Chain A
């Protein structure tokens, strides 16, 4: 852990212990998996064995009469509901209707007294399918004779802040396209001093949140309550409101602790199905997926990218062009936004005068793809940062110096019409280079790389909160931000404690209950510290303003005579802390003051993105040339975070994200063989383990207070994932002289590349 600087702050910018520490180390932290409601039934899901098929008939009568079974629900039983949901496009039926679009799609669900009874009844459901030709890759999906996955147009969902037009369901398999263009790329490439060009593949991956998707739904007449492992309860509320055609006030999402999200629990997943089960069974129903089922629920978009990048004679990057084909699977989920984000993130943190990016995502008969930590950035940073290294080598420049020479400068509008760059990339790269030992001698078979990325982060600024100051001076913050492990239950009270001047120990959080906590759009895109943090800061200040007025009333003086001091007020000799202000005002040791704040796209949040999430990373790898195995020996992260409200938590995010990125760089990949997912369990999907931990890990934070968030903070949490695959590919190239353009860089891939090289083959 890096040493903490001396700070002017009392509570923020300190690594105070996690608020959820004690409950999490004693096993008392409550997750939805741990919950039971009185009278609760359990449901299990029957999934399609086919990737693309018509459902000819379903006979559930035998299953419905099995012991312990309350009911069976199929796509034929959904009359009275609006069964299609989706925050981007409403293309996703909560159970397959008329046809199935991927192997693993829910076709029916059994509700029973316990999970075992529900599971045993599944085999008694008779489904007759008529197989259709599946499309499995973007290439197959765009073929002229490709079968269509979706035959009709869809209604748009609740996604605002999404700039593109919905293109799904318009007679092709294109789910979404997005284009970015400025300057004249053709002219620039004609005049370039050097150009690199290549094709890259970024694999489909699984987030493996250790708590699989789970929901408990209780649907009563005209009211829906769902306990869920969802990251964004308010977005799920919107989908359920539409499925059940209810007012917002009658749909309640409650999210306790969540066992990992990493984007995979963004937006609506299994909640409509759980709620439909409860609606039909007329009792509370728990739907707990297994990990194997979670792997059939959401994955990341894999991406095929063609890219070229050019420099002029002075070593200035003058043009970048890319065509990206993303594989979004059977339903849109969040992929329309992933497409938009990956288009923007293709440019990298460089000011490039000529850019053209064309990005298409295709529906295929595979598991639906959606958000995954970094939102499309890693997919395009593999090509982007690989080409920076290749280009530097081509013109005989040091890759680090080449990045420095082209890095976006603080305040520079490097992406037209977007927020000017709010980081200090040169400083970041400098720290990364020193930490990785860029200029130091290196052992044979070892290679180093440093790389960087920036993301248009923060999603959409729409956040509200209430800060309740009680008569004893303690504080309850009502926040819609979900505690996924990132530490929002710690950071949010730190900000309120700083502003109100009360001890951190006296500030607590109530979170993520849509009936109680004010609207917060989402917990993702690294937005909570910046947006919810700003809301909590403003609401605390608003509470102080109210308490100043109350103090004037209590002291029978004019408001202007009241001076705010840390934790209270002063007027002449008289001094009152908040507890005294409130209890004297109400003339009882009870009562409260409620500070409020609403953040919207205005003022300092009027520019998009909310902030640039900028991270540099470095690796040193060692290659075993006999086997092709890569060992990551050293790992460096440099988070350009403005101000770390809790440095230890930020470093935890950086190393966590970097480790996921390292996993994708080395071995993580969902593998399809034909229409079937071949490695759909944790036995077969290789994850980073203790033994993969690099020998030396060095985590750095750059804190120049240049963000729009509280005290100059910006978000973190995704950034260090994005450049890791490119870093590993670049380091391998430097170690053993082979350029690999697809992740993961498995031993086999490296070994084959080395063999080709020895055979004189060019790659």
Chain B
């Protein structure tokens, strides 16, 4: 079967089988391995991509569901000239990752949050991001990175 969708701003067509998930199509068919698989039961958020701007677990979304829609994976976030998205830069600046396995999903979830609510409070960040697990950082630096992009870091700093 053929799947046609808009991936990272470009019209994309690929072969797939009906049982394949969006994560499988991205990772195996299109070799975009930035989307990570961990729990595979929609709990950890590592596989988060944006579908029509909303965060979705690619591990359990059938690729079929993505037909004709706009999908953004981590590979589509930086500008073509290599300039990082402000959230990516803030994650580097604030040491908001260690092993990096949760990071693509974490950054895309943060993007969805900030697109919807450009200046979230700390509580709003925590509430929105609760579907993404990080085992390394204890979350402190991730909250800080998101606050930094939102421009609300200074006021919350001790």
Contacts and interface: CB of A to CB of B under 8 A. Distances in A.
Do the two chains bind? yes
Given A25-B97, A655-B141, A689-B130, 14 more contacts: A25-B84, A26-B34, A28-B34, A259-B100, A259-B101, A260-B101, A260-B135, A485-B99, A487-B98, A655-B137, A655-B138, A656-B137, A659-B138, A690-B143
A660 B133 CA distance: 12
Q: Which 3 A-B pairs give the minimum distances between C-beta atoms?
A: A27-B34, A485-B99, A485-B98
A693 B135 contact: no
Contacts of B132: 690
Contacts of A29: 100
Contact of B99 (A22, A27, A258): A258
Given A17-B92, A18-B95, A485-B97, A682 B130 contact: no
Interface string B110-143: 0000000000000001110110110111111111
B107 to A, nearest CB: 6
A27 B133 contact: no
Interface residues of B, number: 52
Given A290-B40, A681-B39, A25 B133 contact: no
A652 B141 contact: yes
Nearest to A24: B100
A681 B41 contact: yes
B100 A26 contact: no
A686 to B, nearest CB: 10
Nearest to B27: A34
Interface stretch (A130-138, A206-214, A462-470): A206-214
A688 B138 contact: yes
A510 interface: no
Question: Could you say which of B73, B103, B126, B129 has the most chain A C-beta atoms within 10 Å of its C-beta?
Answer: B103
B137 to A, nearest CB: 6
A22 B78 CA distance: 10
A648 interface: yes
A291 B40 contact: yes
20 contacts: A20-B100, A25-B88, A26-B88, A27-B35, A28-B75, A30-B33, A33-B36, A209-B135, A211-B36, A211-B101, A290-B40, A485-B100, A655-B140, A660-B135, A682-B43, A688-B139, A689-B130, A690-B129, A693-B126, A693-B143
Where chain A touches its partner, the secondary structure class is loop
Contacts of B107: 25
Contacts of B139: 659, 688-690, 693
Interface in A1-51: 15, 17-18, 20-31, 33-34
A259 to B, nearest CB: 3
Interface in A209-265: 209-212, 257-262
B63 interface: no
**Chain A interface category by residue count:** 35 or more
A116 B35 CA distance: 20
Contact of A291 (B35, B39, B77, B102): B39
A613 to B, nearest CB: 18
A19 B135 CA distance: 20
Interface string B56-96: 00000000000000000111011000001000110111010
Interface string B19-42: 100000001000011111111110
B55 interface: no
Given A259-B36, A682-B43, A656 B136 contact: yes
A188 interface: no
B75 A658 contact: no
Question: Could you say which of B32, B73, B130, B142 has the most chain A C-beta atoms within 10 Å of its C-beta?
Answer: B130
Contacts of A485: 97-100, 136
B101 A652 contact: no
B44 A22 contact: no
A15 B141 CA distance: 14
A74 interface: no
A687 interface: yes
B149 interface: no
A443 interface: no
Contacts of A648: 95
Nearest to B106: A25
Question: Could you say which of B44, B91, B135 has the most chain A C-beta atoms within 10 Å of its C-beta?
Answer: B135
B50 interface: no
A34 to B, nearest CB: 4
Nearest to A486: B98
Nearest to B95: A648
Contacts of A31: 36, 101
A688 B102 CA distance: 14
Contacts of A313: none
A683 interface: yes
Nearest to B142: A690
A432 interface: no
A25 B33 contact: no
B92 A18 contact: yes
Contacts of A26: 34, 74-75, 77-78, 84, 88
Contacts of A23: 100
